Amino acid sequence: MPLRDLALAFVVILAWGMNFVVIKVGLHGIPPMLLGGLRFTLAAVPAIFFVKRPAIPLRWLVAYGATISLGQFAFLFTAMAVGMPAGLASVVLQAQAFFTVALGALLLHERFHAHNAVGLVVAACGLALIGEQGGTGMTLMGFILTLCAALMWGLGNIATKKAGKADMLGLVVWGSLIPPIPFFALSWWLEGPDRIHGALASIDGSSVFAVLYLSFIATLVGYGLWAWLMSRHPAAQVAPFSLLIPVIGLAAAAALLGEIPSVPQIGGALLVMAGLLINTFGGRLRTRADRPA
């Protein structure tokens, strides 16, 4: 991969890793459902006037927007609002990789390999260790809701596979049209008009920055560059960079928010990362080991 493309890959990972700290900042002034509605409204408009709609059936576009955009972030924003630390959220959310593998085997009849099972067991032990530490800077409800967000991401990955080959940036932009109305309806129902009015009337610079960052940097720039990299290089070269997201997330949360995980939580995070590495690279290592010398 050329040095320029390598630098762009790190820009994306940095943007997505910092995303969790920015969400936490945004939630200080804006309730979670309202934050979701604002994020995806700005991600969709005016971008839909400049980005072509992906050539996929409408049902899969709706399924993508309802899972990866609406479901994932409704759960994630709520989780972080009720006590899920930003750094640990970046780790636990990576359970999506294992939900995707399991759902692929269940719904698409894809093969579930031995290295997938080993990676899942290792990561599950790490998640159990993190979850058991509820009360040490993290609530159990926040942990469970983050796992729900990871499940929705996994379901969105299945919807993307069922949709077939599609322009990723177009899918993100047009999929962003799905969540705003449900998010605003949930905000009206769960957060109430008084809280919505208060948040908008007293919105400050940090909240505006958070909304703009989540809409443009994390969503449009991040996915746009990622799609460009995936179009130029094999997925096997690009996808492993996503393993750095929890590293950036943990480091940024510690440096900017003062979130220092407990020793067991750090151990759990390392186990999750080990499970992700096994899941990502285990197949290649097994193939090399099976080759005749």
Residue range 268-293, pLDDT digits in tens: 888 888 888 887 777 665 555 555 54
Digit-coded pLDDT (tens) for 116-134: 888 888 888 888 878 776 5
Can you tell me which residue has the tokens 């005016």? 46
Tell me: the pLDDT tens digits for 68-124?
999 999 999 999 999 999 999 998 998 888 888 888 888 888 777 788 888 888 888
Q: Residue 136 above 60 pLDDT?
A: no
b/e per residue 160-198 (b: at least 16 CB within 10 A): bbebeebbbbbbbbbbbbbbbebbbebbeeebeeebbee
User: Which pLDDT does position 98 carry in this prediction?
Assistant: 82
The residue segments making up the domain with residue 180 are: 3-290
pLDDT in tens, 188-237: 999 999 999 999 999 999 999 999 999 999 988 988 888 788 767 766 66
| pLDDT given for residue 234 in this prediction | 67
Higher pLDDT, 54 or 240: 54
Alpha helices in the chain (DSSP H): 3-27, 32-44, 58-64, 72-81, 86-92, 96-107, 114-132, 140-163, 168-175, 180-186, 192-201, 205-212, 222-232, 235-238, 245-257, 263-290
* Burial group, residue 202, by CB count within 10 angstroms (0-12, 13-18, 19+): exposed
Instruction: Determine the pLDDT at residue 292.
Output: 53
- Choice between 19 and 106, residue whose per-residue pLDDT is larger: 19
pLDDT value, residue 38:
97
CA distance from start to end of the chain: 28
Q: Could you report the per-residue pLDDT of 38-63, keeping only the tens digit for each?
A: 999 999 999 999 999 998 999 999 99
Residue 141 has pLDDT above 90, yes or no: yes
CA separation for the pair 26, 212 (Å, rounded): 10
pTM of the model: 0.89
In which residue are the tokens 């099976």 written? Answer: 290
Mean pLDDT computed over 258-271 = 84
Q: What is the pLDDT of residue 24?
A: 95
Overall number of domains in the chain? 1
Residue 125's pLDDT is what?
A: 85
Helix (H/G/I), strand (E/B), else coil: 169? helix
Residue 77 CA to residue 26 CA, distance in Å, equals 10
In this predicted structure, the answer to whether residue 135 has a pLDDT above a threshold of 70 is no
